[in-house]
Amino acid sequence: MQAGYYNAAAGMVTQFNRLETIANNLANVNTAGYKQDNLVTGDFMRLYKEARDDLPNAANTKDAAKFLNRTLDRAPQIVDSYTDQSLGNIQKTDNPLDFALSKEGLFFAVQTPNGVRLTRDGSFTVGNDGKLVTKEGFDVLGSDGKPISVDPKAAIMQTDANGKISVNIPGGVKFVNGKNLYIAAPDNLRKLQKEGSNLYSYDQTDPLKAQSETGSVKQGFIEKSNVNAVDMMVKMIESNRLVGMYQKVMDTQMNDLNSDAINKLAVTKA
C-alpha cells in the first residue's frame, strides 16, 4: 500500500477528532462557565526527532531515521489536548444567587455523589431543604467543607468579593454573617479533568485549600462560556474542507494503485 494513502487516512482521522471537539465547544457556547477544549496536531517525524536521542536504543541513529522519513514521517495525528481556562464575558443578571469569578484559575467547590468537584458555573439556587445548590442539585460548599444553608426568613443576602455571605433577617437592622463560599485555586490546572455537567475532578493527592482573600466574587453576575462561536465556525469549515481534500487524495491513491494492478500485475501472455 502506498504511504500517501496512510498519511491521508491519518489526516482524515485527525480532522474527525478535531470536528468532534469543535462541535462540543459549539454545543456549550451558551453554557455558563464553560471552558473550550483545543487539540494540538503534530506529525510522527517531529515526535520522533524530539524523543530520538532519549530512547535507549543503540540502533537509533540518523540512518535509521531516514527510513522513517520515507514512510510514515508526515502522518498528522493528535499529540495533545488542553482546556483554555481564559475568562469568559461577565454578564450582569441582578439575581442574588448568581455568582461569577473574575479571575482565572479559581473555582467553586460542590459536593456530588462522586465526591467534591470544581466548577466555574455560579448560577446557583436554593433547594427544597434550604441549601444552596447548583442547577443539577449538587450542594455548594462553604469554606469549612460543608453545605451552605440559606435561612428561609432572610430578606436579603449579600456576598462580598471574597465570598463572605451575610444575610438580613426581617425586622432586623444589621446583616448577620453566615458562611464563606469555598473558592478553590488548584496549583496545576492541567491536572483537572472534565466530568460533564460543567464539573472538574482534581488530583486527590493534592488537597485543595479554601482561598479567603481572592477579591474575585461578583454577586448578581454570571460568567459566560469563553467559546467564540465565529472562531469555532471558521475552524469547523476548515476541518470539513481538509476532510474533503484528504478524501480526494485517498481516492487518487487508490485509483493509481488499482491502475497499476490492472496494467502491470494482470498482464498475461498470449
Q: Is residue 171 part of a domain?
A: yes
Of 67-71, 109-113, 212-216, least confident by mean pLDDT is 67-71
Structure-model confidence comparison of residues 58 and 78, the more confident one = 78
Of 36-40, 56-60, 204-208, least confident by mean pLDDT is 56-60
What percent of the chain has a predicted confidence (pLDDT) above 70? 76
Please list, residue by residue across 94-121, b when 16 or more beta carbons sit within 10 angstroms of its beta carbon and e when fewer do: eeebbbbbeeeebbbbbbbeeebbbbbb
148 and 243 part of one domain: no
154 and 210 part of one domain: yes
108 and 159 part of one domain: yes
105 and 185 part of one domain: yes
**pLDDT bucket at 118, cuts 50 / 70 / 90:** very high
For 11, the domain range is 3-85+228-265
Q: Which residues contact 180 (CB under 8 A, 6 or more apart)?
A: 142, 143, 162, 163, 164, 165, 210, 212
167, three cell numbers: 444575610
Indicate the pTM of the whole model. Answer: 0.77
pLDDT(61) > 80: no
78 and 131 part of one domain: no
Q: Could you report the per-residue pLDDT of 184-198, keeping only the tens digit for each?
A: 999 888 889 999 889
Burial classification of residue 4, based on how many CB atoms lie within 10 Å of its CB (0-12 exposed, 13-18 middle, 19 or more buried): middle
Closest CA to 197 of 243, 241, 133, 145: 133
Give dist(CA 2, CA 254) in Å, integer: 9
Closest CA to 20 of 249, 232, 230: 232
67 and 96 part of one domain: no
Give dist(CA 127, CA 150) in Å, integer: 9
104, three cell numbers: 482565572
pLDDT(147) > 80: yes
Q: Is residue 270 part of a domain?
A: no
* pLDDT score at 45: 60
Q: Which residues contact 177 (CB under 8 A, 6 or more apart)?
A: 164, 165, 166
Q: Is residue 135 part of a domain?
A: yes
Q: Could you report the per-residue pLDDT of 152-162, keeping only the tens digit for each?
A: 666 678 899 99
Mean pLDDT for 78-98 is: 91
* pLDDT score at 55: 45
Identify any residues that bridge with 188 across adjacent strands, giving them in sequence order. none
Domain count, the chain: 2
134 and 191 part of one domain: yes
pLDDT(58) > 50: no
144 and 198 part of one domain: yes
Q: In the block, which residue shows the cell 490492472?
A: 262
Boundary-marking domain end, from 223, 238, 253: 223
75 and 177 part of one domain: no
User: Quick one: DSSP state of residue 95?
Assistant: -
47 and 153 part of one domain: no
105 and 54 part of one domain: no
pLDDT(36) > 80: yes
74 and 97 part of one domain: no
Mean per-residue pLDDT over the chain, rounded:
82
Q: What is the DSSP string of 35-92?
A: --EEEEEEEHHHHHHHHHTTS--TT-SHHHHHHHHTTTTT-EEEEEEEE------EEE
Closest CA to 113 of 192, 196, 205, 191: 196
The CA distances from residue 255 to 11, 261, 262, 267, in Å, are: 19, 10, 10, 18
Give dist(CA 217, CA 185) in Å, integer: 13
Give dist(CA 124, CA 130) in Å, integer: 12
Give dist(CA 267, CA 261) in Å, integer: 9
pLDDT(253) > 90: no
